[in-house]
A and B are shown apart, each in its own frame.
Chain A
Amino acid sequence: MVDQLMPQVGIAMADVLERLGYRVDFPEEQTCCGQPAFNSGYRAEARTVARHFIDTFEQSEAVVVPSGSCASMVVHHYAELFQKEPATLSRAESLAKRVWEFSEFLTRVAGVEDVGARFEDVVTYHDGCHSLREMGIREGPRRLLARVRGLDLREMQPAEECCGFGGTFSVKFAELSGAMARTRIEAILRTGARTVVSADPSCLMQIQGVLSRAGAPVRTLHLAEVLASR
C-alpha cells in the first residue's frame, strides 16, 4: 500500500532511519504480507504470499514496517498459518523476532524519542487497532510526537476507537464502515486538530477518504512523514 499509494511514507521512513545512522535496504522482491487474504478467510492463498515474504526478508538484520497491521500479521499470525508446516513455521518464528513496526523500532531498538523533527501544526494521533491491541503500541508514537518541535498534540475523546477500515470489511460492509469512520471523524474534529497522524496507512486511507468526502479542512499524514519533517 505504501509502495503504490503512499510512496512518500516509505521515503520519509528511510530518511528518518538514515539520519539515525542506519543503512536502509529495500529488497525489491517484496510485495505484501498476505493479510488481505488471511483476513478474508483464504488461508492457502495467504500462506502462498507469506512464504514469499519470508523468502524476501529472511536475510535481513531488521525489517522495519510502516504499518502496525502488517507487522502484526507477520509477528502474530504467521505462526498460526504455518502450524502444519514445521520448516516454514520455524523460519517464520525466527523472522518474527526481527520484524518491527516503525515507531516500535525507533523507541525500542534505536532507543530514541527525539529524531530532530520540526512540524508546526495542531495534530491528533489515531491508533491503528492492530498496532494498539496486537502490538501493544500506544505510548511510543506519542512520545515521539511530543519531541517534535512546534507540534501541538491533542488527544481524541474517546482516545481509542476503530476507524472502520478492517480490510475487505470496508467494502463488504461499506455503509457500516463509513458510519464507523464518520464517528471517528467527529472525534477528530472535536480536537480542533488540522492534521491526523497515524502509523497505519490503511487507517489513513480510510480516514482521509471520509474527511475528504466531508470536505473537512483536515489532512492525514503518516507518523514517518511528520518525523522526517525539518
Chain B
Amino acid sequence: MSIEFDRKIHKTLEDANLQLAVYTATARLKDGRTEVVSPAELPDYQELRTQAHDLKKHVMENLDSYLEEFERNVEAHGGHVVYAKDATEVADFVVGLAKERGAHLIVKGKSMTSEELDLNERLEHEGLEAVETDLGEFIVQLAHERPYHIVGPSLHKTRYDVADLFTKYLGIEREEVPEKQTAIARGVLRKKFLAADMGISGANMLVADSGAVVLVENEGNIRLTTSAPKVHIAVAGIEKLIPRAQDLAVFLKLLARSSTGQRLSVYTSILSGPRRPGEIDGPEEFYVVLLDNGRTRLLADRAKRQSLYCLRCGACLNACPVYRKIGGHSFPWVYSGPIGAILTPQFLGLGHEPALPFASSLCGACKEVCPVKIEIPELLLSLRGEVRKAEARDRKNLLERLSFRLFAWIMTHPRLYEMAGRVAAATAPSDNGAWISKVPALMNFGPLRTWLSQRDLPPAPRKSFRELWRLR
C-alpha cells in the first residue's frame, strides 16, 4: 500500500482516545440500527430492502428516462434543472448565479456531494462566504478538515478540540461544555441563516414523478438553509433518483433506521420548486444541479453499477470492523468505509490507492446492513481482480504474482504439496508444542515475520493429517 495509507492507519491505531471515540460512536449507531430493524420492530425489513434494491436497480437501468421526467416536473413547479459534468461546472453555475443576484453569503446543509466537489473552496476563492450549518460540518469546516463519517462529521473531535476551534475562530471566551458549545454555534449560525442570500443543500433522494428533493436531518439546519434564503440550490448526483413519491413509503422506512437507529429523522423535507402562490415563506428561486462527475462511467459497468444505489446512510461504516479501527481520515477520499472502498477506485481510478480494495477482511457485515443490498464484498473482490490485472499489464508486483503461480502449481501437484509440507514441518521451530512467538533469524522474514509482529504461530504438528490418516 502507499506509505500515506499505511501511515494514516498506523497513526489512528496508535491513538487510544480516537480508537475509543470511533468505536463507541459507531457502536451506538450500530446498536440503534439493530434494535429498530429487528423482526419484532420491523417485520418487513428484509422485504423492504429487496424493494428498495429493486427500485434503485430499475431507476439506474433507465436513468435517462427518469432524469427527463424529474426535469419536467421540477420545471412544472417553477424550478430549474442544471446538468453539471464536474466540480468546475457546479462551481461555475453557483458563482455565476451568486454574482447575478449580488449574493455574498451562502449557507450550506450537510452534503457529501458538496464535499466531493470541494465546492466551498471554490466559492471562497471567488470571495463568497460559504458557511456549513450542520454542527459537525461547522466544526470540521473551522478545522479545515474533511468529515470523519458520513453521518457524524466531527466524531473524532473532543470538546476540547471544539473549544480550541471556537475560541480561535469565533472570537469568544473559551467554552468546554458541549451543551453550551452547541448553543454558541446555534447563535452564530442563526444570524447567518437569516442574512444568507443563498442556501445550498445536497439531496438524499430526488423524486422523478414530483420533481422533488428529499432531505433528512436532525438539527433543522437544512430546513433553514432551504427556507430562509431567497434562493435554494440542491446539488445532487444523478444517482439519487427514485421513481415516485409513493416509493418514499419504502425508502423512508429504511433510511433513518439504517443510519442512526431512528424510526425517522427529526426532519424529513420533501421540497419542490420555489414557494407556491399563497405560501408565505420559502425560496423565490429553486434549482437542482444534477451532477455526473464520473457517475456515468460507473453506470456503464454492469457488475459494479449497483455501487450507485447507495443512500449514503452510513450503516456500512458502523458495521465495518475495519472502519471502526482506522476511522474516516485513513481513507484517501471523501467517502470512507466500505462504500468508500468501492467508490474511490471507481471514481478516481485503481491507481489512486491500489491497496484500498484489499483493506478488508471480507467479513460481509457491510452487505448485511446495506438497506439497498449492495454486494460490497463481491465488488471488493472484483476490484482486487482488476488491480492484479493492471499489475500484470504494468509488470508490477511480480514477486507476489509469482508466489501465487507457485502456490497454484504446488496445489495441483499433491505429491509436491505433501513434500513441501514435510519440509516445512521438519524445519519449523519447535517450542515443545506451545505456540511460537519467535523463529530463528534465518526463517524470520517476509509474511512469517509480519504475522509474528502481531501474534504467535501454531506449532508444526509432527504428523500431518494425511500421514495420520494412512496409519488409521
Contact = CB atoms under 8 A, between A and B. Distances in A.
B423 to A, nearest CB: 11
Contact of A180 (B321, B368, B387): B321
Contacts of B453: 174-175, 178
Interface in B404-424: 404-405, 407-408, 410-412, 414, 417, 421, 424
21 contacts: A10-B469, A11-B468, A11-B469, A14-B472, A26-B466, A29-B414, A39-B384, A42-B408, A45-B404, A46-B408, A129-B365, A164-B361, A165-B361, A166-B363, A169-B358, A169-B359, A174-B450, A176-B9, A176-B325, A181-B455, A213-B437
Q: Bin chain B's interface residue count.
A: 35 or more
A28 B322 CA distance: 38
Among A41, A181, A206: residue with most chain B CB under 10 A: A41
B417 A31 contact: yes
Contacts of B1: 172-173
B362 A173 contact: no
B387 A41 contact: yes
Nearest to A11: B468
Interface string B419-448: 001001100000000110100000000010
* Chain A interface helix/strand/loop/mixed: helix
B411 A42 contact: no
Nearest to B421: A4
Given A129-B361, A134-B364, A166-B361, A176 B322 contact: yes
A42 B325 contact: no
B409 to A, nearest CB: 8
A60 interface: no
Nearest to A205: B458
Interface residues of A, number: 67
B322 A42 contact: no
Among A30, A39, A161: residue with most chain B CB under 10 A: A39
A37 B404 contact: yes
Given A45-B407, A166-B360, A212-B456, A11 B414 contact: no
Given A45-B405, A169-B358, A5 B461 contact: yes
A5 B458 contact: yes
A37 B407 contact: yes
B426 to A, nearest CB: 12
A129 B363 contact: yes
A192 to B, nearest CB: 21
Given A9-B465, A175-B13, A179-B325, 13 more contacts: A3-B464, A4-B421, A4-B424, A36-B407, A40-B400, A164-B361, A169-B358, A175-B453, A176-B13, A176-B325, A181-B454, A181-B455, A212-B456
